[in-house]
Amino acid sequence: MTMRRTMKARRALTAVAITAGLALTVAGCGGEEKGPPPASASSPAKNAAGASATSTPETPTADTVLAEVKSGNITLIINSAVRDQGGFVTLNGKIKNGGSGVWLAPGWQGGEQELSKNQTSMAGASLIDKQGKKKYLILRDTDGRCLCTKFTLGVAANKESTWFAQFPAPPASATKVDFQIGDMPPASIEISDGE
């Protein structure tokens, strides 16, 4: 009997401790902040690639068009190509579907076996440095997933979707490269330096 009572008492104390911990956590998350904002609040926001989310004279805005290429009813627009400090180049842009059906990025995932899990994505994209005679493939995580947009539901007819793709950065001297993907014509772009 003593063992049973001890176990019940432990369970009750554990429940009280968990409830108190949750109450303190919820209380700590709510309410208004008093005093000056933290130092990090004054710095520009960073996107997933580490590039500044605010536009500067060196960073093109979403309205900037570095290149636009078309194949059939699909138009690919590149709005920015920014070299990050970490040794990456991040491209951002839009896909416009001018067709009458859903577009699912056929062939854009690339032909490599490692990329087979990247259906309806931009995994097959590459940057070509003509001057250095090198081809840069899209970056991948340890599971073989590309660091790029995946069009899971496709792009509906007469709609557009934003995209991003990340590559290893060519040498600093290589500022002009060609972006290639699927059956789209090459798009010549200029890489700008990020913060």
Dist. CA 78–CA 188, nearest whole Å: 10
Q: What is the pTM of this model?
A: 0.66
Q: What is the DSSP letter of 115?
A: G
The answer to whether the beta carbons of residues 180 and 91 sit under 8 Å apart is no
Two tokens at 149?
A: 């947009």
Residues 85/68, Cβ–Cβ less than 8 Å: no
Topology of domain 67-193, per CATH? Immunoglobulin-like (2.60.40)
Instruction: Quickly list DSSP for 37-75.
Output: PPGGGGSPPB-TTS-BSS--TTS--TT--SEEEEETTEE
Q: What are phi and psi of 35, to 5 degrees?
A: 90, -175
* Cα gap 153→29, rounded to integer Å: 35
Residue 20 three-state SS = helix
The answer to whether the CB of 82 falls within 8 A of the CB of 54 is no
Q: Which residues of 53-76 are buried (b: 16+ CB within 10 A; e: fewer)?
A: eeeeeebbeeeeebbebeeeebbb
What does the alpha-carbon distance between residue 42 and residue 64 come to, in Å, rounded to a whole number? 26
pLDDT in tens, the chain (195 residues): 555 555 555 565 555 445 544 444 444 444 443 333 333 333 333 444 343 333 333 444 557 899 999 999 999 999 999 999 889 999 999 999 999 999 998 888 887 777 767 888 898 999 999 999 999 999 998 888 889 999 988 999 999 999 999 999 999 899 999 999 999 999 999 999 876
Contact between 91 and 107 under an 8 Å Cβ cutoff? The reply is no
- pLDDT attached to residue 45: 39
* Residue ranges of domains in the chain: 1-33, 67-193
Output the six-digit token pair for 84.
Answer: 């990050």
pLDDT of residue 95: 96
